[in-house]
Structure formats: C-alpha cells, structure tokens
Amino acid sequence: MNFNASDVHVSHRLHLNESDSGNLYDFREVFCDEFSKISTYPDPGNTEMINAISRHYAISPEQIVPGNGVDETILLLCLTLLKKKKSIITSMSTFPGYETAARVCGGSVIHTELSGSLKCCIDNFVKSVNQDTAIAFLCNPHNPTGSVLSRSEVISFIEKMNELNVIPVIDEAYIQFADENRHSVLSYIADGGNAIVLRTFSKAYGLAGLRVGFAFGAEQLIREVANTALALPFRINRFAQKMVPIILQHNDIFLKNILKTKGWIQYIETQFVSLGIEFIPSSTNFVCFRPPQGSCEYTEAAATAGAAMRDCGLFGLPGWVRASVSSQQDADLLLSLTGRHYNEANR
C-alpha cells in the first residue's frame, strides 16, 4: 500500500484523521504578515515556537526538539539511536511510520501482538525485547484502533523498558481527545521520567498542512536528536513557527473543537450499538469498526460515494475499517453509508 498516493480527488476525507481548522480563519493575518518575508529563511532555532511550547506545557526548552510533523521526529530518533543497536519494537497493527523510519535507517522491526481487546500489551513488549533493541514505540491512544492505556500502565511500560536498556517513545498524537490527566505521561517525563513523548499539531489543533510536531525528553537525549537535526536546517516553515504560539494562546477554541469531536464519536458509537455494528471504543477523533459485509466491499462503496476511509487490513486488522470525523457532515455520511451497508447485508 502506498500511503503517499495522491488523494486530491477525494471529496470526504475520513481516512487521515484530520481535524477541521475553519476557526483558524480569524488568524489569517498571520499568513499575510509572514508572506511579506517569504523570500527569507525562517528562524533555524525555532526560538519563538519552542518557547511557546515550553510555556504551554511547562517543560524546559532544552527538552524539546521540533520536527516537520511527528513523522520527521520519528525519523530523527531512528537516525540518532539506531547505531550500535539496530532494532525497534512496536505493536502489530499500528502507525506504519515507526517501521518505515527504522527500515530507512537500516534497522529491523519486532512486532508484538495486541491484547484480546485490541490494546497494546505491555507484557508482550517485555517478552519480545532482545539485546539488539534500541527503541520501543508505544502509540497511546493507539492508531488505528483508538484504544488507550492509563497513565499508570504507560509509566509501568516506561519503567520496564528502562530496566531492559531500551528507550521508550510514547506517541501521544491523539492524547487531547482522551483525558490527558488520566493518560498522558508528559508531566511524568518533565519530572525526570526516562522516556520520550511525541506530540503533534496536526490532529486536535488542525494544522496538518503546516507540519509541526515535537519530541520531548531528557536533555542529553534530546540534545543528541537535535544534533542529528542539524543536517536539516530550516525544517519548520515560517508560517508554522508563527501559528503555533498564537494557537497555544487561544487553547480554549481548540478545547471546544475537541469536545465537539468527542461528541460526534459518541454519537456514532451509540448508533453503531443500535445497529449491532462491532467497534472499538475510541479515545481519538476516529472510530475503528467492523462492517457486516467486510472492509474491502465497504471502503469500495464509500469511495464510490466520494468518501475515503482506511481499510485496516493494511494494518494487519482484516475486516476492520478506520474512519475519522471532523464535522457533523462526516458523522452523518459515515452513519448513512454504514446503515446502507448494514441493510444490504441483512436482506
């Protein structure tokens, strides 16, 4: 599967877990101001943006390294850490960026099975680590299932990886859609926990087109990653560098967006219950479900209706589909297609 295939023809984008950013229109003057400087390079140190992230999350600027999306931070981590040890470990049926980055860097990948409830299983990670394992990637909340581990479970994972001399990396790309106090380990790392946390502005904040993510961890480790990043100066464009501080100053707007999204997900799940559609309770902006006539037929029918959804057979979850929602229209379309599919299956 080519995840980089063009999708410009898609009318309804339910396949990439994007969030609506229509409320950013009020900040359009930022783009106009920066456009006058487009002939000059942006700040290579990303100073204003990093300081804004530092203030917002109450973490040290020296513990932050930004990236051109989380994808780049994952690649930077693999470039930095896959040297003496050459393998990573992650769960089966997860975000493919971990494996892609590791293989580009000449590394190998160990996959651990999910639990029976399709959650990441810490014990399976522990059992599968070997002497060549450098990094353990844990996606929490999990993509593509939408399941989530508690903060205490993730801390246990971190401690066990520390004992095995493996660097734990917690991908919290969707954490704003869960209860951060119950699930995030960002404050644990800020207090000295030995791990790396990944965050993005692509999901809850709706800045996928600007490509901004960051890694946060112990100063020495982040310094090593930042040194690797020196090979890629001016990685964060000037529009992104200006938008991030402004967005963090208006966090209340995005909290409202998150509540709306969670409401749409709950609405979809309630309707799925009434239809008897199997699904995994979601802590994200997408829902993973099992259409009655199979994922291939369902996604093909959705594509005919102009809607792109992700067949989770691509992740090793045959029969399951992942669909994200960023508007009431998305939710209604998803339920309409699923209801039609359900009726055809029960004729």
Judgement on whether residues 182 and 282 belong to the same structural domain of the protein:
no
- Tell me, yes or no, whether 330 and 296 share the same domain: yes
* The pLDDT of residue 343 is above 90: no
Question: What was the pLDDT predicted at 49?
Answer: 97
pLDDT at 4 over 60: no
Structure tokens given for 337: 């297609």
pLDDT of res. 340: 85
Residue 12 has pLDDT above 70, yes or no: yes
Q: Tens digit of pLDDT for each residue in 157-176? A: 999 999 999 999 999 999 99
pLDDT at 267 over 60: yes
Token digits for 35? 């456009």
How are beta strands 213-216 and 196-200 bridged, if at all?
antiparallel
What residues are paired with 215 via a beta bridge? 65, 198
**What does the pLDDT read at residue 292?**
87
Q: What is the pLDDT of residue 345?
A: 66
Does 301 lie in the same domain as 180?
no
Give counts: helices (H), strands (E), the chain: 13, 13
User: How far apart are the two ends of the chain, measured CA to CA in Å?
Assistant: 33
Do the domain assignments include residue 264? yes
Model pLDDT for residues 187-198, shown as the tens digit of each residue: 999 999 999 999
Range of the domain at 264: 12-21+252-345
For residue 123, being part of any structural domain is answered with: yes
Reference 65, options 254, 187, 220; nearest CA is: 220
Q: How confident is the model at residue 11 (pLDDT cuts 50, 70, 90)?
A: low
User: Do 91 and 62 share a structural domain?
Assistant: yes
7 inside domain: no
The verdict on residue 329 lying in a domain is: yes
Domain boundary (212, 229, 249) is at 249
Q: What is the pLDDT at residue 125? A: 97
> Is a pLDDT exceeding 50 seen at residue 69?
yes
- Write out the E strands in the chain: 12-13, 64-67, 87-91, 108-112, 133-139, 167-171, 196-200, 213-216, 278-280, 286-290, 307-308, 310-311, 321-324
Q: In this structure, are 192 and 62 located in the same domain?
A: yes
**Residue 4 included in any domain:** no
Per the CB < 8 A criterion, the answer to whether 78 and 105 are in contact is yes
- Sign of the CA dihedral 277, 278, 281, 282? negative
Q: Is residue 29 part of a domain?
A: no
Order the strands of the 167-171 sheet from edge to edge.
64-67, 213-216, 196-200, 167-171, 133-139, 87-91, 108-112
Tokens 């979809």 found at: 268
pLDDT higher than threshold 80 for residue 251: yes
pLDDT over 80 at 73, yes or no: yes
Phi and psi angles of residue 294, each rounded to the nearest 5 degrees, phi first: 100, 155
Q: Does 178 lie in the same domain as 192? A: yes
| 199 and 57 in a common domain | yes
Q: What is the pLDDT of residue 143?
A: 97
Number of domains in the chain: 2
Domain shared by 88 and 194, yes or no: yes
- Asked if residue 337 and residue 320 are part of one domain, the reply reads yes
CA distance 75 to 199: 14
Return the CATH number at 73: 3.40.640.10
pLDDT at residue 243 greater than cutoff 60: yes
∠ CA 60-64-65, nearest 5°, is 160
- Whether residue 242 sits in one domain with residue 280: no
Look at residue 246 and tell me whether its pLDDT is greater than 80. yes
Average pLDDT over residues 314-343: 90
pLDDT of 347 reads: 65
Examine the domain organization and report whether 220 and 295 are in the same domain.
no
Crossing angle for the helix pair 251-275 and 328-345, nearest 10 degrees? Answer: 10
What are the residues whose beta carbons fall under 8 Å from the beta carbon of 70, sequence distance 6 or more? 97, 171, 173, 198, 199, 200, 202, 213
Q: What is the mean pLDDT of residues 7-35?
A: 76
CATH (domain of 337):
3.90.1150.10
Task: Identify the pLDDT of residue 32.
Answer: 80
> How would residue 2 be classed by pLDDT, with cut points 50, 70 and 90?
very low
pLDDT digits (tens, 9 = 90+) for 94-130: 999 999 999 999 999 999 999 988 999 999 999 999 9
> How far is residue 347's CA from residue 327's CA, in Å, rounded to a whole number?
31
Residue 83 CA, chain-centre distance (Å), reads 26
Please list the residues that pair with 214 across neighbouring strands. Answer: 66, 199
pLDDT for res 128: 97
What tokens were used for 346?
Answer: 């029960």
Six-digit token string for 145: 């299932």
10 Å CB burial of residue 261 (0-12, 13-18, 19+) is buried
pLDDT number for residue 254? 84
Which stretch of 29-43, 57-71, 254-268 has the lowest confidence by average pLDDT?
29-43
Final residue in a domain of this structure, among 201, 225, 249? 249
- Mean pLDDT, range 14-27, rounded to an integer: 79
Residue 232: is its pLDDT beyond 70? yes
pTM of the model: 0.93
C-alpha 213/C-alpha 199 separation (Å) is 6
Q: Among 249, 270, 297, identify where a domain stops.
A: 249
